[in-house]
Structure formats: C-alpha cells, structure tokens
C-alpha cells in the first residue's frame, strides 16, 4: 500500500449486535499531519480509533496502519504507536515520575537514556514540580499532560488521541494543541477525535463522522468552501421571532441561534439567498440586519449531518 | 412523607440495579441452593468407610472372625492387607490409610488375657475426627466365640499416632494454614485484573507491547512472596503459641506451599478474568471458599463424604495441600511420598494460569 499514508482503511465496519457503530469507513491519513475526527458522541470516533490500534476487531473491511495490517499484526504495531484513552487511565496511586518510569519499562526504552528522557518530558510538559505527586491528586490539565507525556515517551510514529481535551479548561486545551503541533512538526502523525469545532479547525485534515458514517472529509478550508450552502447571518435583538419566521421558509435548511445572531443555511441551488431572508423578515415586520458570511466549520457540520439525517429517513 | 418517598426511591433504585447485575442475582439464588445441596449431603459427622489396612499375624479362625466383625460395623473399609505392623505405620505415614489394624501372632491367647490388649488400632491422629471415630471402635461389641466367663473390656487398644495428647490445635493448624493461604491468595488476585479494568488502566496496558502471559505472571509474583511470608507467620505462631510440631522438612513444606500458592493465585486470576466488577470477583471468591473449608477434609474427614462430594473435593487445590501439610508437619512424611498431591497442585496452577491467559485477550470485544 501507499507508504506515504500513515493510515489507510477501506470499508471499515464495526457492528455491536444490531448496532452499526462504524459503517463502511474509508480513510487516508497522510504521515506527519494532524488528522481530526469530528463528530457528536456515539458517532463512531472511539470505535474507529480502537479498531485502528487493534483493540477491536473490525466486522468488515481492511486497514493498514504504518504499513502493518490490522487487526492481524497489531502486536507489531504496539511499540510504534502511542494511545491516549478518553478516560484518564494511568495509575492514580503512583506518582508522576513512577508512571513515566513504568511506561519506559513497559516499552523497553533503552535503560541508559530513561532518566534523561523522563526529565526531558517532565520539563516539556510542565510537570517538574508535580514529579512526586500522586497522579490522582492532580488537576484535569495536569493529568492530561501526564497522559500525553506517557503516550509519547517511546517516540511513537503515530499518536492516537481519543477526545483528549474533553475534561480540561480552555487554556489547557490551547497548551495541549501547541504540544501537538510541536509533535507533528517533528514528524509524528496524530489522529485526534474531538467534538469541539475550534479543535477540528486546527487539524490539517479532518473527517466528519455521524452515526458511524463519514459524511465529509478534507482540509478545514476545503470543507468550509464546499458546504453546498449559502450562509446568511441575521442579527436582531429578538432573534426568537425572526427564527420562527425563517424556520417556515421552504428554502431554509437550518437556523442556528448564537446569542443575538442567527445563522441561516440555504442550499446553493437557490439564487439570491439574502433576498429570500430579507423579504421574509420584512413581510413579518421584523427589522433585522442580514448579511452573507463565509461558512464556519460549525456550519459545515450542521450541513453535512443534516444531509445524513435526511438520507437516513 | 417526603423522607419516605426518598427512601423508597433509593430502595427502588437498589432493586433495579441488583436485578441487572446477573451474577449477583444468580448468587442470590445460587448460594443458598447449591451450597445447601452440596453441604447438606456432604457434611456427615457419622464417619464410615475409613481406609484401613490389616496386618493379621495370627491368621486364625478367631482373628478372621474379628476382622469380619470389624468390617460389618462399616466404620472401616479394608483396602489392603500387609504382613507387619511396621508396614501399617508406613501406610499411615504416607496418608494411604487412616486406620491400621494390627493383630499379633498370639491373638487367640491375648483375647483371654485380661492384662494385654488383643488388637492394636493404629490411628491417624493428624485428622481431628478420625481418632475420635476410631475410639468408638473400642467399645464395639466384639463377639468372640468363647465362653462368656472371659473378660470383655480392653480387647482393643487404640494408639493415636502423631498427636498422642489429642490436642486440637495440632489437628487444626495445618489445615487452617491451607485455608488462610487460599483465602488471601485467591482474594488478592481475584480483584487484580478487574480493578484495573474498572479504573481504565487495562485499556492503556493492552495497547502497550506487554503480552497476556507477562501481565498475568508479573501480577502474581509479589503475591507469591506475600504467601511465603504468611506461611512463615503461621508456622511461628503455631510453634510458639500452640506448640504445633513441624516433624518433616521445612524445605518440603515450602516447596508444597509454593505449588499451592501458585494454584490459588492462578485460580484468583481466572476469577478476575470472569468477573466484570470487583464486587463480582469477591462474590466468586466467597463461593469458592465455602467448599474449600467444608469439602477439603479440613473440618469433616474426607472418607466420611459421599463419593460425588469426594470428587468435588479432589478438584480443590486446598484438599491436596491439607494432605501435604498434615503429612509433612505431623506425620513426618517426605514430599516424595506425597508426590501425587504435589503434582496435582502444579497441574492445577498451570491449567488455571493458561485458562486465565487465554480468557484474557488483548482486545476489548
């Protein structure tokens, strides 16, 4: 297979009983990039990541991860990947240092370099002061830095991160992403799942998952340019009234409220979307400001998951 | 009123959760029914069929008559005939028999001699109930076909071996040692894997290069050391407080204990791979501990149990270890003489360990 790709999957499917958690997923993750999985809870993000590292056996389909075919040869893959679980999974009754030491031993990291590597990670991930602290007593952000430090200790070629930032504050998230970029720059491929739009926007490429189906993929920019929707932003002090009016229009695909603003999606087969909105508001006697704006990733998300819901029904 | 409805809310929630925990629900029914059936039939203080060997050096009409009468009591089951009392002692020591019947060459004359016992019963005193049962034989109505004018008392002399003072601790402690080790060892490892699964550590671990065997064996090694320490404590306390002898070799005892500890730990690991929660693991351990106490010969003599209960008892590692401890500590038996029990323990450890490693796949589905 293509060795420029860190991950290549075709027709990956996972069934749990009657539930299709992941359905016919094709995936191509280039090396050295940050690839995002964006999707709501239950969209199949975790299941896909678990299949890719050999924790779950696909019901159908094949995948090659770092030129290793899984799940068959997952054993060969283990030393070359780092995995960060959704839930904190290090040992709470061991100190930061002991946890790192344990991981170094488990991965047979060369003995002579162990201490230097651990010190380097403690410094890099801002854990020097916590080195003797029990992992359970740390804050969410600290735990997450420790988990990342443990996941990268053995210098994996591929890092799989399952919703790594779901339990931390915004500042910790920013720092965390700074660390990810640093890793990507040094050549590590990163697959990260998230349900935060701002995080998805930082990825080099991303796939949007919904109900186990990949509904879109590409660079964030490409996705924003090819939504197939016009986006009209309406600003009004009483957005509720405007929302009820716009909801009734047959041309409008969706209306999302953001404070006093409404984001209105209109499929691009309709011309003059601004007029459609303005006319409707005027007819209802609402004096609101409306303008065409570029699509955000959230608009993309709303648009593609809506299509999926339609095709489902 | 509000308090009552809150109370019912809690009760309702508890019942609902209990009903969904299928293992716990099974235990609610299983513990009373299975254990009652098992122990109701198995526990039997009216001991019969004690394994017995006879050395009939007289071999007269009278002595054969006596042996027939003995068999008719159903207390003894003669499984072997030997030549000399010395051979009886040997069989007793290796645990092959519980009672030895020594009939001296001058049996016919002794029967009418009020000063000398006609028959000697050599009894394994390392089992608490057997010597008691054998003593009842002394008052067995012996029907010698001679005149009624001869004295009747003390035709049978009972010689309790290994615990002549009949002190209870001497009988109990070797068995108790096995029970204590089994309980702690199985319980420690019973929760070992489940705890890591509950805390999420396992998902991390199975993504590392560590394999199932490394994980399993690595986990039990510290507990083997803990078991050794417990064994030393029991021996020291037994010696100082209860003056329980250690007649055999301490090395033999430790070798036997190593095999037993490994078997108990492996059993615990197997429990750990079967249970979903720590609570379930504890329940399963308790489910195993009850038969280990009652069917192993610790409380009730093995010979007294019905065959099916004996078969069940034979599966339990603790049964074999109790035989080993009583043999080595009280009867000065060498480990080589008790090799079968040792082999069973080693075999059990290997099988349980393999089953645990196989059940524990490095997958989540």
What mean pLDDT is predicted for residues B3-14? 90
* Phi then psi dihedrals of residue A5, to 5 deg: -95, 135
Q: Of the candidates B203, B209, B362, which has its C-beta nearest A85's C-beta?
A: B203
Total count of domains within chain B: 2
Is the model more confident about B345 or about B212?
B345
Q: Of the candidates A53, A57, A89, which has its C-beta nearest B201's C-beta?
A: A89
Q: Of the candidates A55, A71, A90, which has its C-beta nearest B207's C-beta?
A: A55
Q: Tell how far CA A194 is from the center of its chain.
A: 3
Helix (H) or strand (E) holding A302: helix A297-312
- Please check whether residue B203 touches A, CB under 8 A: yes
Q: Are residues B218 and B303 in the same domain?
A: yes
What is the number of CB-based contacts under 8 A between chain A and chain B?
A: 52
pLDDT of residue B171: 79
Q: Are residues B206 and B64 in the same domain?
A: no
Q: Are residues B233 and B108 in the same domain?
A: no
- Structural domain including B94 reads 50-161
Residue B222 lies in a domain: yes
Residue B187 lies in a domain: yes
- Please check whether residue B213 touches A, CB under 8 A: no
pLDDT of residue B297: 85
pLDDT band (50, 70, 90) for residue B180: very high
Residue A304 Cα, gap to closest chain B Cα (Å) = 30
β-strands A261-267, A254-258 pairing: antiparallel
Among candidate residues B123, B141, B161, the one where a domain is terminated:
B161
State which residue of chain A sits closest to B208, comparing Cα positions: A78
State which residue of chain A sits closest to B207, comparing Cα positions: A78
Q: Chain B partners of A50 at a C-beta cutoff of 8 Å?
A: 364
- Please check whether residue A132 touches B, CB under 8 A: no
pLDDT band (50, 70, 90) for residue A3: low
Q: Of the candidates B199, B206, B209, which has its C-beta nearest A55's C-beta?
A: B206
Find out whether B217 and B299 touch, Cβ atoms under 8 Å. Answer: no
Residue B28 lies in a domain: no
At how many degrees (to 10) do helices B168-190 and B212-242 cross? 160
Q: Of the candidates A57, A85, A108, which has its C-beta nearest B204's C-beta?
A: A85
d(CA B81, CA A210): 81
Average pLDDT, chain A: 90
- Please check whether residue A196 touches B, CB under 8 A: no
Residue A66 Cα, gap to closest chain B Cα (Å) = 15
Q: Are residues B80 and B121 in the same domain?
A: yes
User: Tens of pLDDT along A124-143?
Assistant: 999 999 999 999 999 989 99
Structure tokens at B234: 């029991």
Q: Please state whether the peptide bond connecting residue A71 to the residue before it is cis, i.e. omega within 30 degrees of 0.
A: yes
Query: Could you tell me what percent of chain B has a pLDDT over 90?
Result: 28
Q: Are residues B115 and B175 in the same domain?
A: no
- Please check whether residue A190 touches B, CB under 8 A: no
Dihedral sign, Cα of residue B169, residue B173, residue B174, residue B175: positive
Q: Chain A partners of B363 at a C-beta cutoff of 8 Å?
A: 54-57, 71
Buried b (16+ CB within 10 A) or exposed e, A11-46: ebbbeeeeebbbbebebbbeebbbbbbbbeeebbbb
Query: Could you tell me what percent of chain B has a pLDDT over 70?
Result: 94
d(CA A222, CA A209): 16
Is the model more confident about B142 or about A87?
A87
Contact A81 B208 (CB under 8 A): no
- Please check whether residue B214 touches A, CB under 8 A: no
pLDDT band (50, 70, 90) for residue B128: low
What mean pLDDT is predicted for residues B26-41? 80
Q: Are residues B215 and B150 in the same domain?
A: no
Q: Which of A53, A76, A78, A103 to mutate to test the interface with B (most CBs of B within 10 A)?
A: A78
Q: Is the pLDDT of residue B362 over 80?
A: no
Q: Is the pLDDT of residue B164 over 60?
A: yes
Average pLDDT, chain B: 85
Q: Are residues B251 and B339 in the same domain?
A: yes
State which residue of chain B sits closest to A93, comparing Cα positions: B199
pLDDT band (50, 70, 90) for residue B364: low
pLDDT of residue B359: 85
What mean pLDDT is predicted for residues A227-234? 90
What is the CATH architecture assignment of A5-223? 3-Layer(aba) Sandwich (3.40)
Q: Are residues B225 and B282 in the same domain?
A: yes
User: Tens of pLDDT along A69-105?
Assistant: 887 888 889 999 999 988 889 999 999 999 999 999 9
User: Tens of pLDDT along B211-230?
Assistant: 888 888 888 889 999 999 99
Cβ atoms within 10 Å, residue B330: 25
d(CA B337, CA A18): 59
pLDDT of residue B149: 45
Is the model more confident about A223 or about B38?
A223
Residue B176 lies in a domain: yes
Find out whether B142 and B66 touch, Cβ atoms under 8 Å. Answer: yes
d(CA A243, CA A239): 6
d(CA B185, CA B220): 9
Beta strands in A66-104 (DSSP E): 68-70, 81-84
Cβ atoms within 10 Å, residue B152: 10
Contact A54 B363 (CB under 8 A): yes
Ranges A116-125, A236-245, B111-120, B308-317: which has the least confidence: B111-120
Q: Are residues B256 and B107 in the same domain?
A: no
User: Domain with B113 in it: what CATH number?
Assistant: 3.40.1710.10
What mean pLDDT is predicted for residues A156-170? 90
Q: Is the pLDDT of residue A150 over 90?
A: yes
User: Tens of pLDDT along B245-300?
Assistant: 888 899 999 999 999 999 999 999 999 888 888 888 888 888 888 888 888 888 87
CATH topology of domain A228-294: Alpha-Beta Plaits (3.30.70)
What mean pLDDT is predicted for residues A253-278? 90
Fill in the DSSP letter of residue B336. Answer: G
Is the model more confident about A310 or about B276?
B276
Q: Chain A partners of B210 at a C-beta cutoff of 8 Å?
A: 106
Residue B143 lies in a domain: yes
Q: Are residues B94 and B155 in the same domain?
A: yes
What mean pLDDT is predicted for residues B58-86? 88
- Please check whether residue B4 touches A, CB under 8 A: no
Q: Is the pLDDT of residue A233 over 90?
A: yes
Q: How is chain A split into domains, by residue range? A: 5-223, 228-294
Among candidate residues B161, B191, B216, the one where a domain is terminated:
B161
d(CA B178, CA B190): 17
pLDDT of residue B40: 78
What mean pLDDT is predicted for residues B227-250? 90
Residue A214 Cα, gap to closest chain B Cα (Å) = 23
Contact A89 B199 (CB under 8 A): yes
Find out whether A25 and A62 touch, Cβ atoms under 8 Å. Answer: no
d(CA A268, CA B98): 96
Contact A89 B200 (CB under 8 A): yes
Q: Are residues B106 and B246 in the same domain?
A: no
Contact B363 A57 (CB under 8 A): yes
Is the model more confident about A136 or about B35?
A136
State which residue of chain A sits closest to B198, comparing Cα positions: A89
Among candidate residues B144, B161, B178, the one where a domain is terminated:
B161
Which burial class, exposed, middle or buried, applies to B296 when counting CB atoms under 10 A from its CB (0-12, 13-18, 19+)? buried
Q: Of the candidates B200, B362, B365, which has its C-beta nearest A85's C-beta?
A: B200
Q: Are residues B150 and B276 in the same domain?
A: no
Q: Of the candidates A50, A87, A103, which has its C-beta nearest B200's C-beta?
A: A87
Q: Which of B205, B207, B213 to mutate to test the interface with A (most CBs of A within 10 A)?
A: B207
Is the model more confident about B145 or about A182?
A182
The CA–CA distances, whole Å, from A30 to A74, A158, A218, A249, B59 equal: 20, 11, 12, 42, 95
**Residue A10 in 3-state DSSP?**
strand
pLDDT of residue B151: 45
């Amino acid at each position: 297979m293509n060795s420029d790709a860190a991950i290549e999957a075709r027709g990956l499917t996972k069934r749990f009983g009657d539930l299709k958690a992941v359905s016919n997923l094709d995936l191509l993750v280039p090396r050295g990039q940050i690839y995002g999985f964006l999707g709501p809870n239950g969209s199949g993000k975790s299941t896909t990541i678990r299949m890719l590292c050999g924790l779950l056996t696909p019901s159908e389909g094949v995948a090659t991860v770092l030129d290793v075919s899984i799940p068959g040869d997952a054993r060969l893959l283990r030393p070359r990947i780092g995995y960060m679980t959704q839930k904190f999974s290090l040992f709470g009754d061991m100190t930061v240092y002991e946890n790192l030491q344990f991981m170094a031993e488990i991965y047979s990291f060369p003995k002579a370099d162990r201490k230097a590597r651990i010190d380097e990670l403690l410094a890099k991930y801002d854990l020097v002061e916590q080195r003797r602290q029990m992992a359970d007593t740390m804050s969410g952000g600290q735990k997450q830095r420790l988990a990342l430090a443990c996941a990268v200790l053995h210098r994996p070629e591929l890092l799989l991160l399952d919703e790594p930032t779901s339990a931390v504050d915004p500042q910790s998230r920013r720092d965390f992403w700074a660390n990810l970029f640093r890793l990507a720059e040094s050549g590590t491929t990163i697959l990260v799942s998230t349900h935060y739009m701002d995080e998805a926007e930082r990825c080099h490429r991303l796939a949007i998952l919904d109900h186990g189906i990949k509904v879109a993929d590409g660079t964030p920019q490409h996705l924003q340019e090819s939504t197939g929707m016009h986006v009209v932003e309406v600003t009004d002090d009483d957005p509720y009234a405007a929302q009820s009016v716009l909801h009734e229009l047959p041309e409008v695909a969706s209306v999302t409220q953001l404070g006093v603003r409404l984001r209105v999606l209109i499929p691009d087969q309709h011309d003059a979307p601004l007029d459609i909105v303005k006319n409707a508001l005027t007819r209802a006697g609402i004096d609101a400001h409306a303008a065409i704006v570029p699509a955000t990733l959230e608009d993309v998300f709303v648009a593609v998951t809506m299509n999926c819901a339609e095709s489902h029904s | 009123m509000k308090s009552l409805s809150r109370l019912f809310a809690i009760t309702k929630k508890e019942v609902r959760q209990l009903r969904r925990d299928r293992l716990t629900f099974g235990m609610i029914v299983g513990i009373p029914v299975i254990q009652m059936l098992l122990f109701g039939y198995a526990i039997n203080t009216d001991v019969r069929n004690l394994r017995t060997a006879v050395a009939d050096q007289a071999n007269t009409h009278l002595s054969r008559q006596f042996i027939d009468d003995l068999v008719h009591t159903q207390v003894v089951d003669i499984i072997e005939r030997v030549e000399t009392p010395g051979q009886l002692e040997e069989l007793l020591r290796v645990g092959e028999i519980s009672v030895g019947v020594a009939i001296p060459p001058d049996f016919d004359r002794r029967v009418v001699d009020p000063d000398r016992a006609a028959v000697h019963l050599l009894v394994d005193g390392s089992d608490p109930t057997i010597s008691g049962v054998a003593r009842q034989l002394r008052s067995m109505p012996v029907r010698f076909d001679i005149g009624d004018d001869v004295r009747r008392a003390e035709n049978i002399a009972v010689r309790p071996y290994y615990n002549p003072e009949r002190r209870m601790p001497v009988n109990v402690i070797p068995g108790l040692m096995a029970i204590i080790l089994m309980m702690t060892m199985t319980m420690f490892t019973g929760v070992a894997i489940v705890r890591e699964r509950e805390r999420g550590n396992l998902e991390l671990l199975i993504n590392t290069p560590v394999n199932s065997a490394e994980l399993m064996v690595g986990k039990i090694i510290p507990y083997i050391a803990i078991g050794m320490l417990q064994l030393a404590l029991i021996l020291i306390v037994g010696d100082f407080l209860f003056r329980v002898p250690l007649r055999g070799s301490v090395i033999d005892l430790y070798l036997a204990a190593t095999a037993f500890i490994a078997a108990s730990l492996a059993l615990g690991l197997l429990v750990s791979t079967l249970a979903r929660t720590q609570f379930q693991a504890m329940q399963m351990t308790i489910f195993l501990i009850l038969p280990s106490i009652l069917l192993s010969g610790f409380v009730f003599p093995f010979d007294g149990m019905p065959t099916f209960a004996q078969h069940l008892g034979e599966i339990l590692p603790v049964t074999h270890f109790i035989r080993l401890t009583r043999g080595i500590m009280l009867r000065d038996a060498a480990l080589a003489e008790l090799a079968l029990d040792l082999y069973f323990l080693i075999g059990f450890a290997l099988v349980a360990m393999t089953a645990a490693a196989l059940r524990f796949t490095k997958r989540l589905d």
